[in-house]
Structures are given as structure tokens and as C-alpha cells.
Amino acid sequence: MGGNPLLFAPMTMSAPTYDLVMLLDPQAQDPARAKIVADTRAAIEAQGELLRHDEWGERPLTYPIERKSSAEYHLLQFHAASGELLSGLDRTLRITDGVLRFRLIKLKPGTPEAPDMRSSSATRRVESEARAEPAPEAPLEALSEASEAQDASGEPQTVLAEQA
């Protein structure tokens, strides 16, 4: 059994980076929204590495969700080494009252940094783009196809989740 020891050495690859965008109900109580964000951050920090948390504030929605015309936006960017964190976040956010929508997206290496949406120029640009032409709504079939997309190595590239 005197094989090459390098054949059994673990590969040192960095954990994939994910974006989690949460749209919270602005009519929910402030402590309830703060608890959702704190619990999500704690789950990420317990099983992964939180890279950034941007609070984008309350913004108008392109189309009403549960008869709401605006939502409080949060972007959390993190590394996750295992799928347990992703499935845990998915399950928790699906059943949590006060979460209108959320998206978990695996970022490809080399993806540029998210813009600072708190700056007034970025806010004006996003609002003017939203007013210029509404984005078409993606059918559910497209969402399920996107969640199954794989790269050449067989790794899923996008993890999409939508609250029912």
C-alpha cells in the first residue's frame, strides 16, 4: 500500500460565493424584520463566511407581491462550503412570515462586486431603469430550467428559490 501520498491529499479549493437577496415586508414590525436578518446572518456565520451585508432600504416593486407595492431589500454575500447551509436557508426563508421573496444565487468566479445601492446615483439609475421599461416576468418553467443549469464540471451554476 505504498502509493503516492499526493493522490489522497484533499484539494484546497475555496468555497463558492453566493448572493442572497431578501425582500422583506415593510409592513412587518421593525423587530420582526431585524430578527429575520439577524437569524439569517447567524446561520451564515455558523456554517459559512459572511462577506458583506448591504441594506438597500425600502424600494418599490416592479409588480405587487401579496398586495404589497414595496419591500425592504437586503443583499448578503457569503461563502458556503456545504449544501446544508443553502438548504437550511431555503427552508427557513420559505416558511418565515415577513419574507416576501428571496433568491440564492451561486456566483461564477470573476463576477464583479455588487454596486453600492445606498448611494444616490445608483438609486436614481436603478429607479430610472425600472421606470423606463418594466422587466418581463420570467415564467416558472424558466426558473426551474435555470436551477438545473450546470457548467462543464457538472457543478450547478445558479441556485434559484422563490417563496411560494
Give 130-157 pLDDT, tens digit per residue. Answer: 444 444 444 444 433 444 444 444 554 5
What pLDDT does 60 receive?
Answer: 95
What pLDDT does 4 receive?
Answer: 52
Fold (topology level) of 15-136: Alpha-Beta Plaits (3.30.70)
What pLDDT does 6 receive?
Answer: 47
What letter represents residue 22's amino acid?
M
Percent of the chain surpassing pLDDT 70: 63
Tabulate helix, strand, coil % of the chain (nearest 5). 35, 30, 35
Q: Which residue has the cell 438545473?
A: 148
Torsion angle defined by CA atoms of residues 115, 116, 120 and 122, in that order, rounded to the nearest 10 degrees:
10
CB 114 within 8 A of CB 55: no
Mean pLDDT of the region 114-141: 51
126 or 40, which is more confident = 40
Angstrom distance (rounded) from CA 90 to CA 95: 9
What pLDDT does 113 receive?
Answer: 80
3-class secondary structure per residue, 32-58: HHHHHHHHHHHHHHHHEEEEEEEEEEE
CB 160 within 8 A of CB 149: no
pLDDT digits over 57-107, tens only?
Answer: 999 999 999 999 999 999 999 999 888 999 999 999 999 999 999 999 999
What pLDDT does 118 receive?
Answer: 67
What pLDDT does 2 receive?
Answer: 54
Give the contacts of 11 (CB within 8 A, at least 6 positions apart).
none
Angstrom distance (rounded) from CA 33 to CA 26: 8
pTM of structure: 0.64
Tell me the CA end-to-end span of the chain in Å, nearest whole number.
54
**How many residues would you count in the chain?**
164
Give the contacts of 145 (CB within 8 A, at least 6 positions apart).
none
